[in-house]
């Protein structure tokens, strides 16, 4: 009897040794490139083999999409990057998914496909989340992610400097942990910052960017792209490689002008938002503004009537109008905050609207004819609010924008049954602020920047020489 038990233990041990090691996902899963009928689900593992994503409208799933990982080896360690396209989906539908790989099945996550009819939606913008490490978390970054999850956006954007060193695998490892609960369920649209423009230990920030992200426009360099979502056109620009990328493609090939022209010709879009890292002005002491943004991009934004440009680089909130274009600096996502210049004070500058030294994020609620943009501190208090208005876009007749019945089923509310997210009645019963009242917080401080960082102190791996007060540079 005793001998029999020993034999069973030995057989069991042999079986365990012969089985492949179970693999945890080392990154993700996370969503990229969402559309009406598809999304890309990305993850990384430390074990080769076929990866599978089970998908369905409930947790019974029902369909399985598979793909092979792309091997990447550095310092003798190999990981596998998966980008599995989930296509042939229905529009405006909640799907559950989970990843199965190497004997491991993840918990349940979800995504919602883009609607195919005109309806209000929300997106979030924040930036400069850099800092933190596995075992040494960036509290502000993680608090910002928790707050953004509570806002329930359809999409979210990071205006750059996602990590301190774009070439650092350790930095990215922490980033994917810090943002996991958000990016597993809401697609991230990242903007390449100067801290991503990094080189270390034989790796570059561009190498990592290309491995991790799957932007909508596969025909372009992955650090700049554009896409439509409902009635908005979004364009993401990389100003860090302005000599090698921005100038040839935007100035010589006219990509940005062609893109914005097409957006203006598209009757279904009536709002255009641009995203880049370094603004054309700065309220940070010792900084001016980014020359390429100021001299190359802003005139194009003006020519094509871009509604707002979201930026980062300065670790605070600021809103400034330049040449008729709204520039919004939202760099309060976790990097050490900057002080404002004291002379001239920001509020004395032409074009000034608002500024606030705080960790924060922006919520943009887009309705057919009005966009409401609000900036919130992480404690939920309001920093700034303003609206933009346009004539309604033109969508197919079956996607009605006028409500003439007693059952509210569209984006314009004109009856007594208020059952949508548009607030247009006297009884305020929703979360959307539809007034033009600006209840900005107070503000206060001046001006860098160039595409070549020239501040006095260099403290990061990206060749950044800003005169930073965070000991980290830029
Ligand atoms: Fe930056």
Residue predicted with more confidence, 246 or 206: 206
What's the confidence (pLDDT) of residue 427?
33
Pairing of strands 317-322, 352-356: antiparallel
The Å distance, Cα 423 to ligand 1 centre, comes to: 37
What's the confidence (pLDDT) of residue 184?
98
The Å distance, Cα 400 to ligand 1 centre, comes to: 43
The Å distance, Cα 167 to ligand 1 centre, comes to: 15
Q: What is the pLDDT of residues 36-64, one digit of tens each?
A: 999 999 999 999 999 999 999 999 999 99
Most confident by average pLDDT, 218-222, 265-269, 346-350, 413-417: 265-269
Average pLDDT of the segment spanning 70-98 = 97
What's the confidence (pLDDT) of residue 323?
85
Average pLDDT of the segment spanning 341-366 = 95
The Å distance, Cα 66 to ligand 1 centre, comes to: 37
Q: What sign does the CA torsion over 256, 258, 261, 266 have?
A: negative
Average pLDDT of the segment spanning 426-431 = 35
Residue 89 has pLDDT above 90, yes or no: yes
- Tokens for 209? 């960017």
What's the confidence (pLDDT) of residue 248?
80
The Å distance, Cα 228 to ligand 1 centre, comes to: 26
What's the confidence (pLDDT) of residue 251?
75
Residue predicted with more confidence, 336 or 7: 336
Residue 442 has pLDDT above 70, yes or no: no
Average pLDDT of the segment spanning 197-201 = 93
Contact (CB, 8 A) for 461 and 474 = no
The Å distance, Cα 474 to ligand 1 centre, comes to: 5
When mean pLDDT is compared across 58-67, 203-212, 432-441, the lowest value belongs to 432-441
* Confidence class for position 242, pLDDT limits 50, 70, 90: confident
The Å distance, Cα 464 to ligand 1 centre, comes to: 9
The Å distance, Cα 451 to ligand 1 centre, comes to: 10
The Å distance, Cα 127 to ligand 1 centre, comes to: 9
What's the confidence (pLDDT) of residue 465?
34
Residue 188 has pLDDT above 70, yes or no: yes
Nearest by Cα to 384 from 321, 335, 430: 321
Average pLDDT of the segment spanning 211-234 = 92
What's the confidence (pLDDT) of residue 398?
58
Q: What is the mean pLDDT of the chain?
A: 83
End-to-end CA distance of the chain: 71
The Å distance, Cα 160 to ligand 1 centre, comes to: 7
* Confidence class for position 253, pLDDT limits 50, 70, 90: confident
206, with CB counted inside 10 A (0-12, 13-18, 19+), is buried
Determine which helix (DSSP H) or strand (DSSP E) holds 274, and give its type and residue range.
strand 271-275
The Å distance, Cα 471 to ligand 1 centre, comes to: 14
Helices (H) and strands (E) in the chain, counts: 8, 24
Residue 440 has pLDDT above 80, yes or no: no
Residue 22 has pLDDT above 50, yes or no: no
Residue 430 has pLDDT above 50, yes or no: no
What's the confidence (pLDDT) of residue 394?
97
Average pLDDT of the segment spanning 68-74 = 96
- Tokens for 44? 């990384």
The Å distance, Cα 312 to ligand 1 centre, comes to: 7
Q: What is the pLDDT of residues 161-183, one digit of tens each?
A: 999 999 999 999 999 999 999 99
* Confidence class for position 247, pLDDT limits 50, 70, 90: confident
The Å distance, Cα 289 to ligand 1 centre, comes to: 12
DSSP assignments along 344-355, one per residue: S-GGGSTTEEEE
The Å distance, Cα 162 to ligand 1 centre, comes to: 9
What's the confidence (pLDDT) of residue 246?
74
The Å distance, Cα 278 to ligand 1 centre, comes to: 7
Answering whether pTM is above 0.85, one says no
What's the confidence (pLDDT) of residue 27?
97
């Amino acid at each position: 009897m005793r001998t029999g038990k020993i034999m069973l233990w030995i057989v069991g041990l042999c079986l365990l040794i012969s089985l492949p090691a179970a693999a945890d996902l080392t990154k993700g899963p996370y969503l990229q490139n969402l559309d009406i009928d598809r999304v890309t689900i990305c993850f990384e593992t430390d074990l080769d083999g076929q990866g599978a994503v089970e998908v369905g409208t409930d947790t019974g799933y029902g369909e399985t999409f598979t793909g092979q990982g792309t091997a990447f080896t550095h310092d003798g360690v190999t990981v596998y990057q998966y980008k599995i396209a989930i296509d042939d989906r229905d529009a405006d539908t909640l799907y559950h998914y989970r990843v199965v790989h190497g004997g491991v099945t993840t918990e349940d996550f979800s995504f919602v496909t883009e609607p195919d009819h005109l309806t209000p939606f929300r997106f979030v913008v924040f930036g400069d989340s850099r800092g933190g490490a596995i075992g040494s978390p960036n509290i502000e970054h993680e608090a910002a992610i928790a707050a953004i999850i509570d806002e329930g956006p359809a999409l979210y954007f990071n205006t750059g400097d996602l990590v301190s060193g774009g070439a650092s695998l350790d930095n990215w490892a922490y980033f994917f942990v810090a943002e996991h609960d958000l990016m597993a369920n809401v697609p991230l649209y990242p903007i390449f910052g100067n801290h991503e423009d990094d080189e270390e230990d034989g790796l570059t920030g561009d190498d990592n960017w290309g491995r991790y992200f799957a932007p909508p426009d596969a025909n372009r360099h992955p650090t700049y792209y554009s896409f439509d979502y409902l009635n908005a056109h979004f364009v993401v620009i990389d100003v860090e490689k302005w000599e090698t990328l921005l100038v040839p493609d935007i100035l010589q090939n006219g990509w940005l002008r062609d893109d914005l022209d097409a957006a203006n010709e598209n009757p279904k879009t009536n709002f255009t938002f641009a995203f880049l890292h370094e603004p054309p002005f700065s309220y940070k002491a010792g900084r001016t503004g980014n020359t390429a943004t100021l001299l190359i991009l802003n005139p194009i934004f003006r020519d094509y009537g871009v509604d707002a440009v979201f930026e980062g680089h300065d670790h605070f909130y600021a809103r400034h109008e330049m040449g008729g274009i709204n520039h919004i600096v939202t760099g309060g996502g976790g990097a050490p905050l900057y002080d404002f210049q004291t002379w001239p004070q920001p509020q004395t500058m032409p074009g000034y609207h608002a500024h606030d030294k705080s960790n924060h994020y922006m919520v943009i609620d887009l309705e057919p004819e009005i966009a409401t943009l609000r900036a919130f501190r992480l404690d939920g208090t309001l920093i700034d609010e303003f609206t933009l208005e346009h004539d309604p876009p033109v969508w197919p007749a079956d996607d009605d924008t006028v409500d003439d019945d007693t059952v509210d089923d569209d984006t314009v509310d004109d009856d007594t049954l208020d059952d949508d997210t548009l607030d247009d009645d006297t009884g305020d019963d929703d979360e959307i602020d539809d007034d033009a009242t600006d209840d900005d917080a107070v503000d206060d401080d001046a001006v860098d920047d160039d595409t070549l960082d020239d501040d006095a102190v260099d403290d990061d791996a990206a060749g950044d020489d800003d005169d930073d007060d965070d000991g980290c540079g830029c």
